[in-house]
A and B are shown apart, each in its own frame.
Chain A
Amino acid sequence: MVERRVEPSTATVGLMLPAFADVAALTQTERAERWTLRGPDAALDGLCAALGLARPQRLRATVAGSRAAFWLGPDEILALAELGAAPVDFGAGSDGAAVEVGDKFVGLDLAGRRADAVLASHCPQNLSLAAFPVGKVSRTLYAKVEIVLWRRGASSFRIEVVRSFAPYLVAALTAAAEDLAALDRR
């Protein structure tokens, strides 16, 4: 019997969470389980169903309780679930793939009056509500790193970023927020 037990540590991504609340607030989300789901639509239907989720349509998310599925490409979905639920059984022999990536990503919530402008500072996508409505998901760029961007509200976004890029991303978001805070008060 092994005596030694260890706890996870999320501080290793070295996040800075500065206060620029009048522009937007950035918070790191709780640890979560994540899966990359890949395959043809029929397989993705089954894999999503195993999570109790509907397969998301192009550039959209589906949500059920604390679980969500993001469409990333014609054969790729990123699914999230909170920790601690019963193990998910994706079933064997499917034509698709479910791969555990819970620790590959760091989740960030960005919300506030100028959240869209903080993102637009370094994200080349059109983030107007008309072009990027609530519920839209896109795998895109922020400055030099790839992110998954999900609009949860008019001024509330979830960002998923691969963990080693998180410090760069947070620093870039911070710089953008600081610049906007100063520019807005001009």
Chain B
Amino acid sequence: MSASYRISGGSALKRERTVRFRFDGRDYVGHQGDTLASALLANGVGLFGRSFKYHRPRGIVSAGAEEPNALVGAFGPTGGFTPNLRATQVELFDGLVAESQNRWPSLDFDVGAINNWLSPLFMAGFYYKTFMGPKAAGGNWVWRQLFEPAIRAAAGLGSPPTEPDPDRYASMFAYCDLLVIGGGAAGLAAAETAANSGAQVILCDEQAEFGGWLLSEAQAEIEGRAARDWAADVVARLRGRDNVQLLTRTQAFGYFPHDFVGLCETIEDAARCRNPALPRERLWQVRAGRVVVATGAIERPLVFVDNDRPGIMLAGAAQTYLQRWGVMPGRRIVLFTACDSAYPTALALAEAGGNVVELIDLRSNVAEALSAPLRARNIAVSVGAAVTGSRGGLRLNSVEIRSVDRNGQTGAMARQLACDTLLMSGGWTPSVHLHSQARGKVAWSEEAKAFLPVARAGGPISAGACAGKFGLRAAIRSGADAALAALGAPPTVDVTPAVAEPALDLTGMVGRVPFAGDPRRGKAFVDFQNDVSARDLLLANQEGMVSIEHVKRFTTTGMATDQGKTSNLNALAIVASNLGKPVPAVGLTTFRMPYTPVSFGSFAGIGRGDQFDPIRRTPIDGWAQAQGAVFEDVGTWKRARYFPKPGEDMHQAVARECRTVRQSVGMLDASTLGKIEVVGPDAAEFLERMYVNSWRKLAPGRCRYGIMLNEAGYVIDDGVIARVAPDRFHVTTTTGGAPRVLHMMEDYLQTEWPDLKVWLTSTTEQWAVIAVQGPKAREVLAPLIEGVDLAPKALSHMAYAEGRICGVKMKLFRVSFTGELGYEVNVPADYGRAVWEAIWEQVEKYGGCAYGTESLHVLRAEKGFIIVGQETDGTVTPDDVGLSWAFGKGKGDFVGKRSLSRTDLAAAGRPQMVGLLTDNPAIVLEEGAQIVAMVNAPIGTEALGHVTSAYYSSNAGRSIALALVADGRNRLGTKLHVPMPGGSVSVTLVEPVFVDPKGERVNG
């Protein structure tokens, strides 16, 4: 097909630059500056897609963001596929590949179009009523399993992309005195007025160039020049200022509290072709001092039977395609209008050489000044008439016209008028979306036949057509006034430029066009995208729905991706008419963000892959990686889980590591351990109150195992705490609990005990921690350490000392989480790797090993040491896990103390930690498995408890497990059963210690 609808002109086009693109497998040529819509229209393509439900052929309706029909899928310059884009907003670039949606096998021949002929079945509510399975078949099982998947496959929109998004998404936080949303006449005037006062201004517009309707205007002149030239001058002046940020292709999609506005800036695809490093979009999060909303108005379609054929378009859109993209919409053009703006459109098309046959005006009284210029160009003007139907296949070929009297009754006689294009104009609806998102109220104006924004003190100020200020002079004036009001500047003399423009009445009509015969016959579409027609709304009302919110959900009107930009007001008016109520009595549904769909990528920004969340690694991580360690996630940390030797699986590696630690020596990177330095004269008193233990009498140079409870009396954290000095403690916490413990401590200090002189500092990352555990630990460390006597009497179990290791300042803890002789070496993090390697050389001399968190878990389970979060789950008291010994004797109050005396927490028979030995020593139980009294207990049997930890212990030579069992300590020696899919596993309850029950090795 040749580009036969392209005529001269087209202010957006660079004619000298042709652009090749492909749509539905066919190659076309357009120009730089084209949208996919304008280029296809220029190529004579009128069919853009199939409708959502009935699969009716659909063409372009609009020229902007409000487009309901022409949704396409497109591949971007980097190959990323995006479905459901509006063809009116897809800018052409060389090599663009796009496709239509919701058709099979092709757009011209679509099997799903049978739905159109079956449509009497598919009224609103059809799905809800029809596809409910019989109760006997399990309620709506049939719906979920059978009908819904099939219907979803047939209905709908484009397919989601199957490949990862190849594009980058940038973001920016911005502040300004005034944010102006919309760069048409009002927005430009507001931005320039504010800029002149010295304010910091951001002006954004969703389109590729500023100007809004000024770019489409055919007649009006401002200061003696074409409206678009005036706009270009203003933009040029704004560009020259350093207090103005101009953002084109930038949609204000959401208005959040406190004038925080989300903008999505799309980067021009043609630019991304030249530089693939460019991000696809940039999310702006703007905190604006004040906001001027100048979002204009959207033309309403007219609701008559078969108003959705390709070739039927909004009149303003046609004027826009003509002025900006040099496209003549058809060969034989008819207009159907209920307001004045179609007249200049008809004239502009005719002046550009278009074959404009007739203009049908619903109104009876039309000023001669409007119609005379048309008649002078041999364009028939029929007033008091309506289009009541259309004919055609994949393109319109005629319309049916009837007279309409002053009471809205249609005449009996109908005539057919041949045409391939019908341009309709039902009037203009102010875009109050952002005003409403900002919690602004709207009020119905009978005069404007529109909901208009009601200003709210401090809220956004609407200006121009979105505030009902139609006409260029009025829009410019209201934009300037809005800027002054927003900035608190006194009104100045009216400096609005001289505008020569025809006085146009843009009110139009709302609701359904007068029609003949049965209102239930034929489909007069209201919501094109969701295939909702006037009769669906009637049905909803007949079914008893009177609230617009119910009607909306029953019919889905206004619920498509376009959010009813072209349909809401007509739907409302039709419902009002059905119910015999005035429009405002029916109410208005909520305007929700986003204004038009925003990509997930834009919200995700850099937060994907490894940047989804910080990945934290210890100073020793690189060594572990070089050794081939397998890592696991512990909170946000990566920790080495085990160090397999060639040929070893996890179980073999862990068995070796555990044996080595008890026979010789092993070392563990414990750097992730939470650390808090608690300093001040009241430090001991503070810890007395935060932990169950006693701290006052702990001597400097000694450590103690601390248990922290929450207010409810349950264990929430544990760790060794060293008294470094009389007024200084080094507290350790679990790896995952570190931030929580610090916050809880700060919370108590600030809110409960502000009188305590004690200060907290997180030192988790200041210190690299190397645990050296095993009978050879002392020999390993001794040659490296200065200033600390490692002799057992000098540095006994639970002692703390400071000295140097390899010349580096060191905090040394003699502590053990394995039950072996052990030390934890703390050095400043930058030295962690070097000190680790020095110790490693020593460890290797003794046949020792590095071990990971998996062996750590096994070694501590062999000794019955708990892990918070494994043996405890937020419902476990210290006594439940055998830690009553830790309570300080005769101490005062502490967090959780009162709760421990609650009846159920002090009751006998609570779940208590025990050890489990399976009858078959080779069976390792599953953690979380339930424990019951009966062999092969039937389903529903109450469990006595559950397995909390289970491992194969190479040191015990068998499987071991820890469990919480009701009244467990009184059941020691008895047999219970663990039901598993393969049958019950019999276990004997034992003391939870499997190695060195007397605990002598730790004193080695």
Contact = CB atoms under 8 A, between A and B. Distances in A.
A164 B610 CA distance: 14
Interface stretch (B626-634, B713-721, B781-789): B781-789
A97 B279 contact: no
B680 A99 contact: no
B834 A7 contact: yes
Contacts of B275: 182, 185-186
Interface stretch (B55-63, B108-116, B755-763): B755-763
A84 interface: no
A122 B171 contact: yes
Interface stretch (B346-354, B518-526, B617-625): B617-625
Contacts of A5: 806-807
B830 A168 contact: no
Q: Which of A6, A39, A102 has the most CB of B within 10 A?
A: A6
B171 A103 contact: no
A36 B268 CA distance: 48
Interface string A135-165: 0000000011100000000000000001111
B622 A12 contact: yes
Given A2-B783, A4-B838, A167-B617, A101 B761 contact: yes
Interface in B389-443: none
B759 A75 contact: yes
Q: Which of A14, A97, A165, A168 has the most CB of B within 10 A?
A: A97
A171 interface: yes
Interface stretch (B172-180, B323-331, B483-491, B905-913): B172-180
B278 A9 contact: no
Contact of B677 (A9, A97, A172): A97
A12 B621 contact: yes
Given A9-B833, A145-B614, A183-B278, A96 B759 contact: yes
A104 interface: yes
A120 interface: yes
A186 B278 contact: yes
B616 A165 contact: yes
Nearest to B837: A6
A1 B837 CA distance: 19
Contact of A2 (B680, B786, B828): B786
Interface in A161-179: 162-165, 167-168, 171-172, 175-176, 178-179
Contacts of B727: 93
A8 B765 contact: no
B830 A144 contact: no
B975 interface: no
Contacts of B766: 100-104
Interface residues of B, number: 67
B838 A97 contact: no
Interface in B758-792: 759-767, 783-786
B171 A121 contact: yes
A54 interface: no
B342 interface: no
A5 B786 CA distance: 11
Given A126-B287, A183-B278, A163 B829 contact: yes
Nearest to A131: B175
A31 B830 contact: yes
Nearest to B725: A92
A52 interface: no
B785 A99 contact: no
A97 B679 contact: yes
B677 A99 contact: yes
A3 B841 CA distance: 13
Given A104-B829, A176-B170, 8 more contacts: A2-B804, A2-B805, A6-B807, A9-B834, A10-B830, A143-B605, A181-B277, A186-B267
Interface of A: 1-10, 12, 14, 31, 36, 38-39, 75, 93, 95-104, 117, 120-126, 128, 131, 143-145, 162-165, 167-168, 171-172, 175-176, 178-183, 185-186
